[in-house]
């Protein structure tokens, strides 16, 4: 039993949930997105700062979430910081397809391993939305919208 759980809550995920990276708000910021999961009432807000070359110079998040959504947001901000908008959108698509089980593998270079760890959530179908919530919020922000609901 604990083996399955440890698959979901790996050390790295527990660490990010207890000590989230890039937690806070950028004010003012160029883009922001608000993710809401009506199932549990959780919210994850993502703030991004883009330069004129469409590079993400800074990304942070805040809100109320479970260990999975918090860790996912924390790891996502680590991965996304410094990337171009188009790379961020590709990573969003890669992660979404991994977590929903559409794809078994992805090639995201040095980020592959971290995304694969997070995507372990697919063994717990009820929790997939927790992991994808911050990613949807980030993606929505980059599309220039602000609100996203997982339902």
Partner 1 sequence: MNEMTSFDVEKIRRDFPIFNETVHGKRLTFLDSGASAQKPTVVLDAVRDAYSHTYANVHRGVHYLSQRSTELYEGARETIRAHMNAGSLDEIIFTKGTTEAINLVAQSFGQMEFQPGDEIILSYLEHHSNIVPWQLIAERTGAIVKAVPINQDGEFLLEEFSKMLTDKTKIVAVTHVSNAIGTVVPVKEIIDMAHAKGVRVLIDGSQAIPHMKVDVQALDADFYVFTGHKVFGPTGIGVLYAKNELLEKMPPYQGGGDMINRVTFEKTTFATGHSKFEAGTPPIVQAIGLGVAIDYVNSVGLDNIAVHEQSLLSYATEQISAINNVAIIGQAKHKAAIVSFTIDGIHPHDIGTIVDQAGVAVRVGHHCAQPLMDFYDVPSTVRASFAMYNNREDVDALVASINMVQEFFR
62: CB partners within 8 A, 6+ apart: 23, 24, 25, 44, 45, 47
In whole angstroms, give the CA distance from residue 112 to residue 51: 25
Partners of 58 in the β-ladder: 49
The single residue among 32, 42, 87, 111 that binds partner 1, judged by CB under 8 A, is 42
- Note if the bond before 28 is cis, omega within 30 degrees: yes
Q: Whole-number minimum distance, CB 100 to partner 1, in Å?
A: 18
Query: Which H or E run includes 38?
Result: none
Q: If binding is defined by CB under 8 A, does position 65 make contact with partner 1?
A: yes
Q: If binding is defined by CB under 8 A, does position 28 make contact with partner 1?
A: no
Identify which of residues 65 and 87 has a Cβ nearer to partner 1 in the complex.
65
Q: If binding is defined by CB under 8 A, does position 127 make contact with partner 1?
A: yes
Judged by the rule CB under 8 A, the positions of this chain that interact with partner 1 are 1-2, 4-5, 8-9, 14, 39-42, 64-68, 124, 126-127, 130
């Amino acid at each position: 039993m604990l083996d399955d759980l440890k698959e979901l809550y790996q050390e790295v995920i527990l660490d990010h949930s207890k000590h989230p990276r890039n937690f806070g708000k950028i004010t003012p910021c160029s883009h922001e997105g608000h993710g809401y999961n009506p199932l549990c009432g959780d919210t994850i807000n993502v703030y991004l700062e883009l330069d004129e070359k469409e590079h993400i110079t800074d990304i942070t998040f805040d809100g109320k979430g479970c260990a999975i959504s918090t860790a996912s947001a924390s790891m996502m901000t680590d991965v996304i910081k410094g990337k171009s908008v188009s790379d961020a959108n590709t990573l969003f698509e890669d992660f979404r397809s991994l977590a929903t089980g559409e794809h078994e593998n992805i090639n995201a270079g040095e980020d592959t391993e971290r995304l694969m760890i997070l995507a372990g959530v697919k063994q717990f179908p009820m929790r997939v939305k927790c992991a994808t919530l911050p990613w949807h919020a980030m993606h929505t922000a980059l599309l220039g919208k602000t609100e996203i609901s997982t339902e």
